[in-house]
Amino acid sequence: MSSWSERRVVVTGIGCVSSLGNDADTLWRNIVSGQCGIDRITSFDPSPFDCQIAAEVRDFSPTPAFPNPKEIRRTDRFSHFGVYAGWGALKDSGLDLDRENRDEIGVFMGSGIGGLKTTEEQHCVLLEKGPSRISPFMIPMLILNIASGLFSLYYKLRGPNFATCSACATATHALGEAWATIKRGDATVMFAGGAEATVVPMGIAGFSSMKAMSTRNAEPKRSSRPFDRDRDGFVMGEGAAILVLEELEHAKRRGARIYCEVVGYGNTADANHMTSPDPEGEGAGRAMKMALRHAGMRPEEIDYINCHATSTPVGDICETRMIKNVFGDHARTLAASSTKGATGHMLGAAGAIEMAICCKAVEAQVAPPTINLDNADAECDLNFVANTAQERRIEGFANNSFGFGGHNAIIIGRRFQG
């Protein structure tokens, strides 16, 4: 078996569920054309809430990914998203599981919150009908590791399996840990990413009470505006994204399509505040430097950054400062954008949907736009690809994710070169 330093890891499949499409090609077309998946909430009456908008998944059926309809009734919406995205990634990868050693195929599918819809519904049952009426499936429906477990169960994948949970850094941690698992030889193929379904009354109320959400209810399509001077908070999104990470020689032997190579991973803590990032982005900067070190790349070799920027007054500035601190003069040469203006903030799934977008950006050699960036904040003065996609050379890229609790996770990838 080759050593850690010799084993290379590539992305060979992408699956997703989002407000802008339930496959990577549809998602990319809508992202690059500047579409927005945010609108007034339809899954419940949002009128009593300060924030009445979200990027909901509509016209979705998990049926193709599940062994039978009974399993769908016994699982939460976030698991529906996760299992479907995993199924989509499997299809996209071209893997024939019947010809593979399933002991060497694992799943790291995380969630920031898990089965919030189930928690909310079953709590109402408890209060209204008593403890005897609680569903026996309540616990396995709401625990956030269950999507990862179910996908491995349904597809008989017996390799490494767990669920990351680090708020909005969840999916990027899953991807990074999957990369490391393959690098050290513990798996040949990993399905990795995140799933989230928090557009429910409790989720909207909780984040609204923190004053973290946009209240631009009259203009849903213009509500999430990363780096713009008029931003007033994030807009919640839901969905999932799963990527197939694969050891290069295995991928080559089966003639797999290769989106890009994953070459670096950074994982640090701010140790600063429960919810606010380090003011200078110092913790995130250490994660970026760690990822660059793993990748053996200089800052000047990064051509595009998909920013975490959620459209909050503080966070977008901190991330801008981090990019300037780490990249120096090159910060003004590279392209950086936030796609959350289009997808909403998908919390524990955000890093994976954004990694999918990075893969498509490398494939197309196009930097996707930051929509609604009409008047840049004076402190957000880099090339944030305002409103219109930019055709440009993208060899190396970084995908940033930062979560409540001070969690920082960054993945670095590059265009595959045999």
Does 207 have pLDDT greater than 60? yes
168 belongs to the catalytic site: yes
The β-bridge partners of 137 are none
Tokens for 404, please give them.
């409540």
pTM, rounded to two decimals = 0.96
DSSP 84-117: HHHHHHHHHHT--GGGS-GGGEEEEEE-SS--HH
Active-site residue, selected from the candidate residues 308, 318, 359, 380: 308
Does a structural domain hold residue 2?
A: no
Overall average pLDDT of the 70-87 stretch? 97
16 is catalytic: no
Task: Among 213, 231, 253, give the residue marking a domain's end.
Answer: 253
Same domain, 241 and 333: no
| Paired residues of 234 in beta bridges | 213
Q: Which of 168, 260, 307, 358 is catalytic?
A: 168
Each residue's pLDDT tens digit, 302-319: 999 999 999 999 999 999
Higher model confidence: residue 5 or residue 113?
113
Amino acid at residue number 379? E
Please state the separation of Cα 285 from the chain's center in Å: 20
Give residue 151's domain range: 9-253
Average pLDDT over residues 44-53: 97
Q: Is residue 258 part of a domain?
A: no
Q: What pLDDT does 2 receive? A: 47
The catalytically annotated residue of 16, 345, 359, 380 is 345
Task: Check whether residue 346 and residue 392 sit in a common domain.
Answer: yes
**127 and 198: one domain?**
yes
Angle, CA 152 vertex, CA 148 and CA 153 arms, to 5°: 115
Indicate whether 117 and 194 sit together in one domain: yes
Check if 80 is active-site.
no
Categorize the per-residue pLDDT at 246 as very low, low, confident or very high, splitting at 50, 70 and 90: very high
pLDDT, tens digit, 9 for 90 and up, residues 139-179: 999 999 999 999 999 999 999 999 999 999 999 999 999 99
* Number of domains present in the structure of the chain: 2
CATH code of the domain covering residue 199? 3.40.47.10
Judged against a pLDDT cut of 90, whether residue 181 lies above it is answered with yes
